[in-house]
Structure 1
Amino acid sequence: MRMRFNKVLCVAGVVLLNLAGSFCQLDVCGQAPFNTKIYGGGDATAGSWPWHVGIGDFGCGGSLINKDWVLSSASCLSRTPTSDVFIQLGRRTRYDPDPHQINRTIINVISHPDYNPVTEDNNIALFQLSSSVDFTDYIRPVCLAAAGSVLDEGLSSWATGWGYTANSGLPNILQEVEIPIVSNQNCSVAYNGSGVTITDNMLCAGQLNDVFKGQCEDDNGGPLVSKQGSQWIQTGVIIMTNACLHKNIPGVFTRVSQYQDWINSHISNEKPGFVTVPYSTPTPDPNPTPDPYPYIPDIFSGSSPSLQLFPLSLTFSIFSLIFCFFI
C-alpha cells in the first residue's frame, strides 16, 4: 500500500513537471532588447520588433509566437499561396540583404474554421514553420493577450509592417506607427454606413482626426502590440487595410484574446506566452492579517508574466527524480 502511494506521488511530480514546462514560453516572449520606443513612428531600427515576419514577397506579415509557429490572418492565404512560400524572420529591410535574416518554408496552415471573408470575422490563422528557429536578439516570440484581457480606449499600441506608406510607395525598411486603441462603440460609429460590422472578435486602433496613422495595403496579418512592464504583448492582427484610403476611421484588427483556446488547441508543445492585459497584483496591506486563502498568481491565464517558470520546472524535476529513486 505504501509503495503504491509513493508511486502515485511520483507520477504527480512528473505531471507537475510537464505542466510547469508548458508555460516556459512566458520567460522569453515579448522581449525586445533593442526597442526603446516611446512615441512617434517611421523606420524601425534593427531588432526593435524581433517577432515581426514577412510572408512570401511581403504581401502579408505575421508574428512569431514560439519556435515553430507564426500568427497571421486567414485572409493572407488568398494573397499568399503556401506552396513554395517562405517566411522571413529577423529581417528589417524589404529589398536589401539583412545579416540577421533566416528563412523557413510553411508546412502547415490552420485557418480559423469560422473565418468569414465577407465580414472579416474570425480572420486569424496559424502558420507552422518547416523547422524550429533559434531565438536571438533579432528573432524572438511575442507574448499574446490572454482571454479576458481589457483594452481601454487610448491604450498606446504599435503596428508594424512593410505596407504602403503615405506617398503610396512600398518602403524598404520595416515601418512602425504608434496608435491608440479605439473602443468598439466609437469604432462602429466611425464605420457607420460603410457596411463594416465591428464584432466582439475585433478591436480598433488609430486616429480619429484628419491625419491618418495606421495600417495600409500589404500590412495584412501583421501584429498590433502594447507594452506592459518589460514585455510586449500582441493584442491584434491587422485585417482591414483600406483605412489608409479614408480619414477619421481607425484600423480594424482581429482581437487576439478571443482565440487563446483555439490557438492552444493546435499547438501541442511550448504553448505561446499568454498574458492578461492589464496585469496587476493586489496592493499590499500595511497591516496584514493572516489569510487562509492567500493570493496565488494565475499562471494558467498568463496574468503573472514575471513568474520564473523554468526554475519551477527544474525544482519539480529534481524532487521527482529523488523521490522516484528511493521508491
Structure 2
Amino acid sequence: MVRSPIQCGCAFYQPVIRARIVGGIESIPHSWPWIVSIRLASTNLPFCGGSLITDRYVLTAAHCFYDDLKKLGDKMTAAIRSKYLFVIGAHYSTEKNTYLNSHLRLTANSIIMHPQYNTNTKINDIALVELSQSIDLMDKSVGFICLPMPTLRYPKAFPPDRADAVAIGWGRVREDSFGRASNVLLQVELPVQSPYIRPSDCADQIYDPERQFCAGFTQGGRDTCQGDSGGPLMLTYNQTWQIIGITSYGEGCARAHKPGVYTRVSVYRDWINYTISKNTLDYDIELLNMPNNLDMNNDLEIWWDTDKFDLMHIFSQYYIDENEHIRQQHESQLSKVQRKNDQLKTSIQHLQLSHKNELTALDKQYQNRIEILNKTHEQQLNESQQKLNDLLNEKSQVDSHCLLLQEKVNGFVTAMENSEHADVLLCHVDTLEKDRTSLQTVLELKNKEIAQLRTKLHEQENQLIDIKALRKRVDMAENRNQDLEYLLRQKQLSEKAAVVERDVLKEQVTQLERDSCQLKFENETLRYRLRERSFSVSMISDKPARLPLTLISIPSQQERIRDRTYSISTTMLTSHENEHITRSLSSLNCILNR
C-alpha cells in the first residue's frame, strides 16, 4: 500500500514478496523505509538492525548494546553516543550507489534497554534508541512501521501460528566462518511457529513463550543470521505493515528443526508507549503508531485476506484448545487437592489411632505402676512405722527397767552400807550390774535397728517423691493428649477449607466450560461470517480465494473481472450486501489501477 503523509506501515515503493524461495532475496530499494542500519562509527559496517516507530525513536534488541551499557545503566556518555551510527534510508551497507543509498546518518541521544533484560535467556531482549534529531517523514526513502494493534484481545498469543511474516537485514548469508555479511538489504519470508500450537521445534529454543516466539521452516533453508539482530519481523494487515517481532537469537542459521527466536512486540506495546511518552510531549504516541484504515469498532481481529482464512480458524481453535488445557489443569489440580485431602484424612486417622493407643497403653501402664507402688509403699511404710513404734516401746520399757535397776542398785548400796550382809549384797549388785550391761547392749542394738528403720523410711519418702514425679508425667501426657485433640480439630478445619477450595475449583472449571462453549459458538459464528464473505466475493470473481493474486499476475483476467464487476446489478442485493460490494469494488479498482 502506498502511504499517505504521516502514516505508519506504508512505503512509496511497494515491496514484492515471493513465496517458497531458498534463502533471502534482495529487496526493492526503499520498499522497507523504516529499516535502520546500526553501525560502529569506527568501521562503518552494520552489526545490528532496528526499526523506526516514530520520527525520533528506533526499536531494536537490547543485546546489541548490553556490553557497553550494563555498567552505565540509562546514563549515556559522549563516548557511547559517538560510538554508534544509525543510518536511515540505506539500501547498501557501503557507499556503492549514491542514488539508491541516499540516507541519513545520526547518533543516539539515549539508549534505553528494558530494565528486566536477561542476558542469559534473552528474555525482554528489546531496547529503544532516541535519535539525536527528528526525521522528516515526508522523505520517500524514510518511513516508520506500525506497532501491533492496541485492540488485540490476546497479545501474548500474537502473531497467530503459520502466519507468513517477513524479516529483513544486512546479516550473514551463510552460517559458517566464511559467511560474509550481505552488501544489500535482504528480505526473507518465514512462517510463524507458535510455541503453544507447535511446541516440537520451538519449545527447546525459547525460555518464555509469552514473550518469545519462533519463525522458520521445519526443514530449515531460510532464516535470519548474525548481523540481523534487532531487525524487524513484520506482518501485513489491511495492506499495512506492523512489527510483530525483533530478531533475538537462534541456534546456528537456517538449520532444520532450529527456527529463529524473536521477541514478541505485542506484549511490550505499553512499555514502548510509556517510555517514549516520558520524553515526548508534542504528539500522541498511540495515534502515531496506529494504521489509518484500522476499524476500531471491530472487536474481532479478523484477517480478511483470502490467504489468511485458515489462520483465523487455527487462531480461534487455539484459544478453545488453550481453554480446554486450562480446564484440564484445573481438573488435575482438583484431583491433586482431593488426593491430598484423602492423604490428610488417612494421616489424621493414623495419628489419632496411634496416639490414642499409645496414650491408653501409657495410661494403663502408669496407673498399674502407681497402684502397685502405692500399695507396696503404704504397706512397707506401715510395717516400718509399726516396727519403729515397737522399738520405741521396747526402748521405753528398757529405760524404765534401767531406772528400776538403778533404783534397786542405789537401794542395795544404801542397804549394803547399813547391812552386815555386804558381801551378799555386793554379789547381788554385780549381778544387777551385769544385767544392766546386757540391757545397755540390747538398747544399743535397738538404737541401730531404729537408725536402719529411719534410713528405710527416708528411702520410702524418696520413692514417694518419685511417685509424685510419675504423676506429673501422667499429667503431662494428659496435656499432650489435649494438644493432640486440638491439632485434630485444626486438621478438621483445614479439611473443611480444602473442601471449600475444591468447590471453588469446581466452580472455576464450570465457568471455563461455559467460556469454552462461548468460544466454540464464536468460532462457528466466525466460520459462518467467513462463508458469507466468501459467497459475497464469489459473486465478483470466479476464484474468490485468490482474487488479489490473480489480478496482479494475469492481466487478461483483470479485464474480464473488471467487465464482470461493473455488470453486477446491485438492485437485487440487500443494503448491507450492496455496501459490502461497493467497498469491494473500490478495492478492486485500486488494485486494477495499480
TM-score, normalised to structure 1, is: 0.72
Q: Do structure 1's residue 157 and structure 2's residue 165 form an aligned pair?
A: yes
Which whole-Å CA distance do the structure 2 matches of 1:172 and 1:155 have between them?
A: 28
Among 9, 21, 25, the residue aligned to 1:42: 25
1:8-40: CA deviations, max 9, x gaps?
Answer: xxxxxxxxxxxxxxxxx9951001221232324
Amino acid at match of 2:212: M
Q: Do structure 1's residue 229 and structure 2's residue 233 form an aligned pair?
A: no
Deviation at 1:44, TM superposition (A): 1.2
The aligned counterpart of 1:202 is: 212
The change in CA–CA distance for 1:26 and 1:77 in structure 2 (over 3 A counts) is: farther
Q: Do structure 1's residue 265 and structure 2's residue 274 form an aligned pair?
A: yes
Deviation at 1:95, TM superposition (A): 1.7
Q: SS at the partner of 1:224?
A: strand
1:158-217: CA deviations, max 9, x gaps?
Answer: 0001110037121100110001111113664225556x42420112111111x3211101
Amino acid at match of 1:185: Y
1:203–1:255 contact (8 Å) kept in structure 2: yes
Deviation at 1:274, TM superposition (A): 4.1
Which whole-Å CA distance do the structure 1 matches of 2:66 and 2:115 have between them?
A: 15
1:216–1:242 contact (8 Å) kept in structure 2: no
The change in CA–CA distance for 1:251 and 1:278 in structure 2 (over 3 A counts) is: farther
Q: SS at the partner of 1:265?
A: helix
Structure possessing the higher radius of gyration over alpha carbons: 2
Between the aligned residues of both structures, percent identity stands at 29
Amino acid at match of 2:29: A
Among 224, 238, 242, the residue aligned to 2:247: 238
2:15–2:27 contact (8 Å) kept in structure 1: no
Q: Do structure 1's residue 72 and structure 2's residue 72 form an aligned pair?
A: no
The change in CA–CA distance for 1:160 and 1:187 in structure 2 (over 3 A counts) is: farther
**Structure 2: which 5+ runs fail to align?**
40-44, 70-79, 295-299, 305-525, 534-573, 577-594
1:44-92: CA deviations, max 9, x gaps?
Answer: 1211110001111311000001100000010010367743111000001
Deviation at 1:224, TM superposition (A): 0.4
The aligned counterpart of 2:93 is: 94
Which whole-Å CA distance do the structure 1 matches of 2:265 and 2:255 have between them?
A: 25
The change in CA–CA distance for 1:50 and 1:80 in structure 2 (over 3 A counts) is: farther
Amino acid at match of 1:174: L
The change in CA–CA distance for 1:39 and 1:179 in structure 2 (over 3 A counts) is: same
1:65–1:71 contact (8 Å) kept in structure 2: yes
**Structure 1: which 5+ runs fail to align?**
1-24, 289-327
Q: SS at the partner of 2:200?
A: helix
Which whole-Å CA distance do the structure 2 matches of 1:106 and 1:229 have between them?
A: 33
The aligned counterpart of 1:132 is: 134
Amino acid at match of 2:142: I
1:29–1:143 contact (8 Å) kept in structure 2: yes
1:118-140: CA deviations, max 9, x gaps?
Answer: 11111100000000011222110
Deviation at 1:245, TM superposition (A): 6.1
Q: Do structure 1's residue 142 and structure 2's residue 158 form an aligned pair?
A: no
Q: Do structure 1's residue 219 and structure 2's residue 219 form an aligned pair?
A: no
Once the two structures are superposed, the pairs formed by residues 242-253 of structure 1 within 5 Å of their partners are 242-244=251-253, 246-253=255-262
Amino acid at match of 1:222: G
Deviation at 1:250, TM superposition (A): 1.3
1:243–1:250 contact (8 Å) kept in structure 2: no
Number of equivalenced pairs: 262
TM-score, normalised to structure 2, is: 0.41
Which whole-Å CA distance do the structure 2 matches of 1:52 and 1:256 have between them?
A: 16
Once the two structures are superposed, the pairs formed by residues 20-59 of structure 1 within 5 Å of their partners are 28-40=7-19, 41-56=24-39, 57-59=45-47
1:184–1:204 contact (8 Å) kept in structure 2: yes
Deviation at 1:280, TM superposition (A): 6.2
The change in CA–CA distance for 1:165 and 1:80 in structure 2 (over 3 A counts) is: farther
The aligned counterpart of 2:49 is: 61
Higher relative contact order (CA 8 A, sep 6+): 1
Q: Do structure 1's residue 189 and structure 2's residue 191 form an aligned pair?
A: no
1:215-241: CA deviations, max 9, x gaps?
Answer: 101110000001112211100000014
Q: SS at the partner of 2:196?
A: helix
The change in CA–CA distance for 1:187 and 1:144 in structure 2 (over 3 A counts) is: same
Which whole-Å CA distance do the structure 1 matches of 2:30 and 2:65 have between them?
A: 27
Which whole-Å CA distance do the structure 2 matches of 1:154 and 1:66 have between them?
A: 29
Which whole-Å CA distance do the structure 2 matches of 1:43 and 1:245 have between them?
A: 17
Deviation at 1:287, TM superposition (A): 7.5
| More strand, by proportion | 1
Q: SS at the partner of 1:35?
A: coil
